[in-house]
Amino acid sequence: MELITVNTKEEMARLAAEIIAKTVSEKPDAVLGLATGDTPVHTYSLLCEKCSEKLIDFSKIKTVNLDEYVGMGYNDKQSFKRFMFDNLFDKINIKHENIHIPDGKVADIALECENYDRLINSLGGIDLQLLGIGHDGHIGFNEPSTEFIYETHKVMLDPVTVKANSRFFKNENEVPRFAITMGISPIMNAGKLLMLAGKDKKEILMQAIFDGVTPSVPASVITKHKNLTVIYCNE
């Protein structure tokens, strides 16, 4: 594991954008696993800038996102699909057919989960997976549990997550209680993992990376990955 500590969010985003840009330039048809949340927003804006300056080319890049709320799609402004288009996809030269996000609006969620795993496999897996960490130690929406769940699955959100994500909604009652999340397997099978965490996540991050692997802190599993970079920002 490479643990990089930086002092500012700006520096964290700059480093993360450089790592992602390097993957894209080394493998122009790479599969990028992407994350939502506040933490990667500035990284995405730097990637948009690089793309508008023609320093990075997403025309052959494929993406798979970690998760989506059940019942939400592009027309819901809090959906992760909308987040990704607003913060990245609308501002880079990616082909829409190469963008993949679990569909929270489908009737058959179990089938959507199966199809998502099949899709990731058909793409040959993920080259670089970007990750945040939840206050409860989740990655994607793999919530604390008694066991790791390896496949894409429907999950009931932990009360800690509902509370944390209520900042994007009018109130806590409006936060969806269920989500579809990529499971642990595609994350751990990614060629490289890049985790970003700010100061508000210090305690849970330290627990995840130094206190041993346990499904009660799902992010702890990434310490088993052979190519893991964690960027911790002291701001």
Nearer to ligand PGA, 16 or 98 (CB): 16
Answer for the pair 71, 105: CB distance below 8 angstroms, yes or no: yes
Name the residue number minimizing CB distance to ligand PGA. 37
Distance between CA atoms of residues 139 and 33, nearest Å: 12
**Inter-CA distances, 168 with 71, 88, 148, 165, 201, Å:** 16, 18, 28, 6, 18
The answer to the question of residue 65 lying near ligand PGA (CB under 6 A) is: no
Closest CA to 114 of 126, 127, 125, 102: 102
Q: Interface mask (CB under 6 A) for ligand PGA, residues 8-37, using x and -? A: -----------------------------x
| Candidate list 38, 49, 90, 235; residue touching ligand PGA; CB under 6 A | 38
Q: What would you report as the CA-atom Rg of the chain, rounded to the nearest whole angstrom?
A: 16
The answer to the question of residue 134 lying near ligand PGA (CB under 6 A) is: yes
96 catalytically annotated: no
Indicate which residue of 68, 143, 153, 225 is catalytic.
143
Whole-number minimum distance, CB 38 to ligand PGA, in Å? Answer: 4
SS3 content of the chain, % helix, strand, coil (to 5): 40, 20, 40
| Candidate list 33, 102, 104, 132; residue touching ligand PGA; CB under 6 A | 132
The answer to the question of residue 191 lying near ligand PGA (CB under 6 A) is: no
Q: Residue 153 is which amino acid?
A: H
Look-up of token digits 């990616």: 94
Structure tokens at 35: 């994350």
Closest CA to 72 of 35, 46, 120, 106: 106
The answer to the question of residue 64 lying near ligand PGA (CB under 6 A) is: no
Nearer to ligand PGA, 39 or 65 (CB): 39
136 catalytically annotated: yes
Nearer to ligand PGA, 98 or 141 (CB): 141
Whole-number minimum distance, CB 26 to ligand PGA, in Å? Answer: 26
| Candidate list 17, 23, 34, 39; residue touching ligand PGA; CB under 6 A | 39
Answer for the pair 41, 35: CB distance below 8 angstroms, yes or no: no
Residues designated as active site: 67, 136, 138, 143
- Residues in the site for ligand PGA, rule: CB under 6 A? 37-39, 132-134, 138
